[in-house]
A and B are shown apart, each in its own frame.
Chain A
Amino acid sequence: MEIDPFIFRFSIFILSIFIGYYVVWSVTPSLHTPLMSVTNAISSVIIVGAIIAALSGNEDVIFSSSSIYGFLAIILAAVNIFGGFLVTQRMLAMYKKKKKDK
């Protein structure tokens, strides 16, 4: 009997939860705020769905009832992607070690 492709995706999902579990426990507590902002940014990979939705219309009707939601989602996700990664970068740049010459 053939295995439903859903099972493969479900396996990836479950294994990723475990990866997430171990990876996140190894994050140092002082970086928990950047962790939240970067997870914010990467969860905006949902933009993939937004792009598919936005391009679902044809040449004549670019803004159909379904693609309009895609375009809205693109804006939201883009705010998050740029905002999330940049603010994380800004925060991480501030974490400095003690200077030796001090």
Chain B
Amino acid sequence: MSANVSATLYLISGVLFILALRGLSSPETSRQGNLFGIIGMIIAITVTFLSVGNFTSGFIYVLIFLAIGGTIGAFIAYKIPMTAMPELVAGFHSLVGLAAVFVAISAFINPEAFNLGTPGNIKLASLIEMAIGAAVGAITFSGSVIAFLKLQGIMSGAPITFKGQHALNALILISIVILTFYLCSTQSSNLFWILIAVSFLIGFLIIIPIGGADMPVVISMLNSYSGWAAAGIGFTLENTALIITGALVGSSGAILSYIMCKGMNRSFFNVILGGFGATTGTTGDKNKEQRPVKSGNADDAAFLMKNASSVIIVPGYGMAVAQAQHALREMVDTLKKSGIKVSYAIHPVAGRMPGHMNVLLAEANVPYDEVFELEEINNNFANADVAFVIGANDVTNPVAKTDPQSPIYGMPVLDVEKCKSVLFVKRSLSPGYAGIDNDLFYRENTLMLFADAKKMTEDITKNL
């Protein structure tokens, strides 16, 4: 296949990838968008086969390896529970990162196959691109592995900090730049291996100080990195499909990180520097008096909801942990049968990844037009009778609006306290991720329901 034809086809697959993302602007067009993405991928792979034109026994092995990977991927995709989606995405990011590293290594060892020159005499521009692709890929890999371990609970979600952490990280980042510079002037393979090793290390060090509830930002950031790594390799291979995709994914991840940071009213650097939740929480402890809390049982909650005309549900990460989404939907169905209006309010950073709550509710067959974002629904709390907070905490804390001393001051929160009554499902009075007391617990109109989210929801349904 001529180079011009294959370049044009790669461009087409790049355009199809753009359309795949475009489709996600609404749930109706999204499935078609996904199909465009699949077609784009098939075109890219087919064109590569045709342009290499090497249909020898090596080709058979390529197909075998493709089938092995594909089977594993398909198996995971069908088996994975929706609550594990953040872990899955983190795991997938690590694979993209590692694949980028492997391609870069292969290109470094055998540049002739990629038309980049000869070993020890690789074109300067290609070498820089290769080094960037490999370094960013390695950072994506080790960073995603840590994120995966934290989300999976294998590693504690608590931030791991030590003295001189930021200085060390800065030093390593500078050394990566210096290594790249020397790699380009000497073409030494030892430097290339060191560069990759150091990049693995920094990916690891960047993510360990970031706490569990900041994972939405981390996952989005790693999403962005995996894109930049792909783009770097795309420049090396002079492949438009890869360059376009890398840029798309890179900017997509960057925007998601931005949205997540805004949802917490924190700067990106504040999140990345880490340690949040480990050092704060001292302000509330000093004058901690035992304030009275009203607590109730499923019967009380059922009574309140039965007499309401509109109910707003506020789900959070706790709902995912307790796998309470199906029980919740059943409760809502019972409410709707009695003519009660129910809607769902989702905070941008609820859960462990962007859109986490929406997917869980969709899984439980909640129609997406009953689910609203913070800005859409926040004014409705004042007119609602009952707010049912299930597994959320910091995102409902009115302190964010009133106390400039609070670490979450200025963070957009759901105006849950404006409801006539608030039902707050929680295991105990322990503070949330930000390490501060939730003022909502002590309000006159709040009724605490101390129980596991799933069990409580089921009990309420029985009492309705």
Binding site for B on A (CB under 8 A): 5-6, 9, 12-14, 16-17, 19-21, 23-57, 59, 62, 64-67, 69-99
Are B89 and A42 within 8 A (Cβ)? no
Are B223 and A91 within 8 A (Cβ)? no
Q: A12-B240, A30-B27 are in contact. Are A47 and B99 (CB under 8 A)?
A: yes
Contact partners of A34 in chain B: CB under 8 A: 24, 30, 34, 355, 359
Contact partners of B226 in chain A: CB under 8 A: 40, 43
Compute how far the CA of A77 lies from the CA of B311 in the bound complex, rounded to whole angstroms: 45
Name the segment of B45-53, B147-155, B434-442, B448-456 touching the other chain. Answer: B45-53
B5 at the interface (CB under 8 A from A): no
Are B56 and A49 within 8 A (Cβ)? no
Q: Which residues in window 19-50 of B have CB below 8 A to A?
A: 20-22, 24-27, 30-31, 33-34, 37-38, 40-41, 44-45, 48-49
What are 18 A-B residue pairs whose CB atoms fall within 8 Å in the complex?
A5-B238, A27-B21, A30-B346, A32-B354, A42-B248, A43-B226, A44-B96, A45-B44, A46-B100, A48-B44, A48-B48, A48-B241, A51-B49, A55-B58, A55-B59, A57-B58, A69-B106, A83-B88
Contact partners of B25 in chain A: CB under 8 A: 26-28
Are B244 and A12 within 8 A (Cβ)? yes
Q: Inter-chain contact count A-B, CB under 8 Å?
A: 377
Are A39 and B44 within 8 A (Cβ)? no
Compute how far the CA of A12 lies from the CA of B127 in the bound complex, rounded to whole angstroms: 20
Identify whether the interface residues of B are mostly helix, strand, loop, or mixed: helix
Identify whether the interface residues of A are mostly helix, strand, loop, or mixed: helix
Contact partners of A36 in chain B: CB under 8 A: 89, 219-220, 223, 253, 256, 353-355
Compute how far the CA of A67 lies from the CA of B37 in the bound complex, rounded to whole angstroms: 27
Question: Chain A nearest CB: distance from B338 CB in Å?
Answer: 14
Name the segment of B77-85, B298-306, B388-396 touching the other chain. Answer: B77-85
B237 at the interface (CB under 8 A from A): yes
Question: Chain B nearest CB: distance from A24 CB in Å?
Answer: 4
Closest 9 CB pairs between A and B? A78-B69, A32-B355, A56-B113, A83-B73, A82-B73, A66-B110, A16-B247, A20-B251, A32-B354
Compute how far the CA of A43 lies from the CA of B252 in the bound complex, rounded to whole angstroms: 11
Compute how far the CA of A67 lies from the CA of B109 in the bound complex, rounded to whole angstroms: 9
Q: Which residues in window 72-111 of B have CB below 8 A to A?
A: 72-74, 76-78, 80, 82, 85, 88-89, 92-93, 95-96, 98-100, 102-103, 105-107, 109-110
